[in-house]
Amino acid sequence: MSPDQHTWPQWATEPVRVVEPETSWAEAGAREKKELAAILAPFGIPEIQHIGSTSVPGLPAKPILDLMGQVPDFERIADIAGALAPYSWHYVPPELDQHPERRFFVKVKNDRRIAHLHILLAHSKRWEDQLLLRDELIRNPGLSARYAALKTSLSRQYELDREAYTKAKSAFIEDVLSGLRPSRKRRLIFATNNQHKVEEIQSAIGSDLEVISLQQAGIDIDIPEPHDTLEANASEKSATIHRLTGESCFSEDTGLEVDALNGEPGVKSARYAGEDRAFEKNVEKLLFKLEGSPDRKARFRTVISLILDGQEHLFEGICEGRILTTPAGSKGFGYDPVFAPDGEERSFAEMTLEEKNRYSHRRKAADKLVEFLRNK
């Protein structure tokens, strides 16, 4: 128990209590769905689903309705919380909820939970999984009976630890879902929301694997990059995503290293001119510091950290080149307009993605990643 839990409301620490199924749950769920749809329609959330054990006829459950809705992003969560508050919905912020893939609300009556609302990102895996599990439990009475026995046993074992109770069910749930999910390409979560990077890595990897961003995986989190090496930052990001999802994932950290600046901007490439990550300002600062210097030699270096089956593997790609005196081209991103690879007069920003991939540091690191995966 956290040191400050004695100050929390009673509903936040109530014990796990699994009860016999009640026929009223379906009707109550329909009422909540209708009310929530009306409240949340202005926020582009027309569809509310009743999920969890109370949505499965005949299944014992905690007497708490679980409902979910989808949003394109979490930018309006504060407004949604304000709209729900008059209806006894309490917002549990991510730092307390510890599930960055969702935004969580609890409806309270007489200081007891009566419903949960899970707000998920559109097209998230969690949304699909919740519906798959619910529908299979309804369709398969034998599976529902096994789940009921497990839930009842675990509720006694973890009566005072809601998180432990939920975690203990996860192996059963994942086993069920693994047989239900439609066959799909092997996928890797890429620890970024930079769509340029996703497209560049996907182009390098080809069609053998599906690369998805954090948002596509239903994760909304800003991962810090506190270390002074590319390797350590890449490891930090992949370890964080693996800890949150349990899935295979990878991250990359890339730096531009300029000889005349003793390796600057290096690990601080994205924040060279400030924390706002404005690459126009970064380029401007770089050119200012190199003004008049005859030594324009530089390189892009990428380090990929892959976590596969719980083990980390590192891959490096380097592209040697030089810094131009003025930006050229409008393609690419970051420092691409001022970097020309060895053997080229054009900048990366003047090349198509296919042309850039002939030299790309990310392509070289990604090729090593793909070769490793093909041999697994």
CA 134-138-143 angle, to 5 degrees, is: 90
Active site residue 253: yes
156 vs 230: CA distance, rounded Å = 47
CB 156 within 8 A of CB 181: no
pTM here? 0.59
**pLDDT tens digits, one per residue of 216-245:** 888 877 787 889 999 999 999 999 998 888
Q: Are 290 and 257 in contact (CB under 8 A)?
A: no
- 142 has a pLDDT exceeding 80: yes
CA distances to 56, 150, 153, 185, 214 from 139, rounded to whole Å, are 9, 18, 23, 27, 32
Which SS3 state, helix, strand or coil, does residue 7 take?
helix
Tally of CA atoms within 13 A in the half-sphere of 81 that contains its CB = 13
Q: What is the pLDDT of residues 293-316, one digit of tens each?
A: 999 999 999 999 999 878 899 999
Q: Which of 79, 253, 309, 367 is catalytic?
A: 253
Query: What are 42-74's pLDDT values in tens digits?
Result: 999 988 999 999 999 999 999 999 999 999 888
